[in-house]
Structure 1
Amino acid sequence: MSAPAGAIWGRVEQQDFRSRVRGTLLGAAVGDALGAPVDGLDLDGIQEGYGAEGIADFAFAYGRRGAVTHITQLTLFTVDGLIRAQVRRDTGAWHPPTDLHRAYLRWAATQRDWGPDERRKDDGWLAREEWLYARRDPARSLLLGFGDEHMGTLDAPKSPGEIGPEATARSAPFGLLVGWEPQLVVQLAVECAAQTHGHPVAYLSAGAYAVIVHGLARGETLDGAVQRALALLAARPGHQPVSDALQHALGAVRQGMPTPVRVEELAGDGSAEGVLAAAVYCALVGEDFRHGLCLAVNQDGPSGATAALTGGLLGALHGETALPPAWLAELEGRPTLLELADDFAMEMTQGPALHGPAGSSPGWLARYPRA
């Protein structure tokens, strides 16, 4: 179990936390990459292209095997924004949703520009990763939400009718704030989701997913983490569809062998709460990481988002050693994912030694500028 806020991080706790951070980010990216070639296909289409068992390994998408989509891109910028928020706290400025919004605007620039703009000195290192400058079918809600400088809020959200899973799919990193109280994790994820997805079903699904990851990263069982999420959701207006979907996922576990039909029933029309429920189910019944992801992908619903959420849950639960090495070897952007995961783990466990009133590491501030 990771050390709580204010505790001294021992070597064992640091190693466990880093493994869970790596597992969460790599697991979500592997799920995203597994689903990328078949996203938008129904099960018949998947089986027609990949055989009766469906897709069970990386296949070609965007010109290569193991390619990731906008889901992984935005998850990376979520991590970047969280680190930048911690660094900016030294200045007395403490409003993480604003720092996350700025990070998402840096992602939006990767969707417009041909490559990094060296004149933007305050962008930090992630925005200079050239492989991220590729448009991987981002949903219209994302391009609209981050299409200008105006930040959506819970009082005035962007796209108030949007119920898709895209905001939920970028929200795993909020759950890695293991020193935060669970209700604060929910609140931050909800506020940041409203920047593109203004319907309660969408932003509460993001909050629920984040706090489930939070429980797993702190050493809880998946069932226990879901129960905590349900308790926290109960106080929020508009929670019932999300709570019902999670309860349905827990109940489905007791209904016999997992099948694509059961996953499809949970995923429903592909809205956020259904995709979240399907991912929770696949993580609960999956015999191992590979089995859980193959269940998530081979169904009629949104394969990429479901598998990305499932991968994030299983990675947070088991750590990076549970991920199949062959998939990791082919995963697009793996070096960047590992570097960012380790930076996040270092910031959360050793932040005061990297920056603060007593002095700061110039190298760290170059990577994560305060501006």
Structure 2
Amino acid sequence: MTNTSGPVNTPPADFATRVQGTLMGGALGDAFGYLVEFDSLVTIEAAYGPSLLVDLSQAGRTPHFSDDTQMMLYTLDGLLDVLEWANDGISSDINACQWLAYLRWLKTQGIPTAEHAPEQPPRWIDRQSVLHHQRHPGNACITGLATGEMGTVFRPVNPDSKGCGTVMRSAPYGLLPNVDTETVYKISSDAASLTHGHPSARQSSAAFSWLIHGLAIRGLPLRAAAESARDRAAAEPGADADLMSRLESALTLSAHDGEPLSGDALTGALGLGWVAEEALAVALYCVLATTNGAVSAVDHFLKAIRLAANHSGDSDSTASIAGNILGALYGEAALPPSWLTMSEAPQLIRRLGAEFIRLTTGE
């Protein structure tokens, strides 16, 4: 449903399912990819056979989500903090609230910050033990926060880092209703600077949030939303050449007929996904390339997530980002019912999503 009436980017009628679908879709993709995150394609085939990893049940246990979902949920909680202040009639610094949220996440990892770093009183999310496990947190996220300095575009921490830790946590920005898409872009870009200083890290995160906003709030078709994100990234002063090249390749290659690129051919064309622009491009390609022939939202989800995870790169991040995109596109209709029964801490994710919905819509 395209949002064409009322105030700017008002929430669509199916806003609630799009929010929950985006969050849970990312968590499911993350858990699936996390099973093989550090494995080469040869190792994946040796473990799971020639069909590779195809189902969460192959974990043989409750499959865990990684730091990707942990940080996505702390992004969401930072936004909840902002919305709570706003509903009390008090304005707040959005990026400062996000920084405080990420500092609380760092504390759950057992990693100390600098003595001069501010400390926010614990919130509900901080008491959830499932989020206190170390699930291979990204180095730039850790070091950027541990300095106790609030990174900005003009005073960057980790100035050369463009790891995918910015993109994989940024879907919640795209779910913000009642704001223009340009504001979403800026919020996401500014928040990326808290840990990563390279322009590609900021711009990839912002383009991803723009994409999610186009799907979940503006109701754009998938390819139109992807092209809109590409065009906005291109319009950025000093647009990062690597990001533009990867996005263009993802759009062009996914338009070709025939079997989608997979495995080493996929990562050879778009990168391994360890850095921001590659992770976004791989995930976007996997969703676009599996659209044709998908008989249902769930079928599309499974095809895209399998493609996004079965390669030699950063499988959990690429699958998590793909899951976010599919959830924003279809809502909860994309989520495989059998995977939901195996998911880790679904009540936690749904509660945070419901609070976000309540604070943004009053429902």
TM-score in terms of structure 2 length: 0.88
Q: CA deviation at 1:272?
A: 1.2
Aligned-pair identity in percent equals 34
Per-residue CA deviations over 1:97-153 (Å, capped at 9, x if unaligned) read 11111111111111018xxxxxx9932211111211111110111111121432100
User: What are the residue-to-residue correspondences of 1:219-230 with 2, within 5 Å?
Assistant: 219-230=219-230
Deviates more, 1:248-257 or 1:206-215: 248-257
2:287 is the counterpart of 1:283: yes
Hey, what does 2:81 align to over in structure 1?
Answer: 84
2:74 is the counterpart of 1:70: no
Hey, what does 1:107 align to over in structure 2?
Answer: 105
Contact 2:167–2:204 (8 Å) recurs in 1: yes
Deviates more, 1:120-129 or 1:275-284: 120-129
User: Which amino acid in structure 2 is aligned with residue 239 of structure 1?
Assistant: D
Contact 1:193–1:203 (8 Å) recurs in 2: yes
User: Which amino acid in structure 2 is aligned with residue 257 of structure 1?
Assistant: E
Q: Structure 1: how far apart are the matches of 2:75 and 2:9?
A: 26
Contact 1:175–1:185 (8 Å) recurs in 2: yes
SS of equivalent to 1:32: helix
User: What are the residue-to-residue correspondences of 1:159-308 with 2, within 5 Å?
Assistant: 159-218=158-217, 219-236=219-236, 237-255=238-256, 256-260=258-262, 261-270=264-273, 271-286=275-290, 287=294, 288-308=300-320
Distance of aligned partners of 1:7 and 1:139 in 2 relative to their CA distance in 1, 3 Å threshold: closer
Distance of aligned partners of 1:144 and 1:121 in 2 relative to their CA distance in 1, 3 Å threshold: closer
Q: CA deviation at 1:265?
A: 2.7
Q: CA deviation at 1:235?
A: 2.8
Q: CA deviation at 1:223?
A: 1.1
Hey, what does 1:336 align to over in structure 2?
Answer: 348
Q: Structure 1: how far apart are the matches of 2:324 and 2:215?
A: 10
Q: CA deviation at 1:8?
A: 11
User: Which amino acid in structure 1 is aligned with residue 232 of structure 2?
Assistant: L
User: Which amino acid in structure 2 is aligned with residue 240 of structure 1?
Assistant: A
User: Which amino acid in structure 2 is aligned with residue 207 of structure 1?
Assistant: A
Contact 1:33–1:66 (8 Å) recurs in 2: yes
Structure 1 residue runs without a partner (length 5+) = 114-119, 352-371
User: Which amino acid in structure 2 is aligned with residue 348 of structure 1?
Assistant: T
Q: CA deviation at 1:59?
A: 5.8
2:324 is the counterpart of 1:312: yes
Per-residue CA deviations over 1:147-169 (Å, capped at 9, x if unaligned) read 14321001011111112111100
2:101 is the counterpart of 1:140: no
Q: Structure 1: how far apart are the matches of 2:71 and 2:265?
A: 29
Q: CA deviation at 1:205?
A: 0.6
User: Which amino acid in structure 2 is aligned with residue 149 of structure 1?
Assistant: G
Q: CA deviation at 1:187?
A: 0.7
Per-residue CA deviations over 1:215-250 (Å, capped at 9, x if unaligned) read 000211121112211222223213322122111111
User: Which amino acid in structure 1 is aligned with residue 224 of structure 2?
Assistant: G
User: What are the residue-to-residue correspondences of 1:146-157 with 2, within 5 Å?
Assistant: 146-157=145-156
Q: Structure 1: how far apart are the matches of 2:120 and 2:52?
A: 46
Contact 1:263–1:282 (8 Å) recurs in 2: no
Q: CA deviation at 1:65?
A: 2.6
Distance of aligned partners of 1:9 and 1:281 in 2 relative to their CA distance in 1, 3 Å threshold: closer
SS of equivalent to 2:220: coil
Structure 2 residue runs without a partner (length 5+) = 112-118, 295-299
Q: Structure 2: how far apart are the matches of 1:9 and 1:167?
A: 26
Q: Aligned-pair RMSD on alpha carbons?
A: 2.3
User: Which amino acid in structure 1 is aligned with residue 121 of structure 2?
Assistant: D
Hey, what does 1:355 align to over in structure 2?
Answer: none
Q: CA deviation at 1:268?
A: 1.2
Q: Structure 2: how far apart are the matches of 1:180 and 1:147?
A: 32
SS of equivalent to 1:146: helix
User: What are the residue-to-residue correspondences of 1:16-35 with 2, within 5 Å?
Assistant: 16-35=14-33
User: Which amino acid in structure 1 is aligned with residue 181 of structure 2?
Assistant: P
Deviates more, 1:17-26 or 1:284-293: 284-293
Per-residue CA deviations over 1:319-369 (Å, capped at 9, x if unaligned) read 012110111111111110011111111111118xxxxxxxxxxxxxxxxxx
Contact 1:165–1:202 (8 Å) recurs in 2: yes
Q: Tell me the matched-pair count.
A: 342
SS of equivalent to 2:235: coil
User: Which amino acid in structure 2 is aligned with residue 249 of structure 1?
Assistant: A
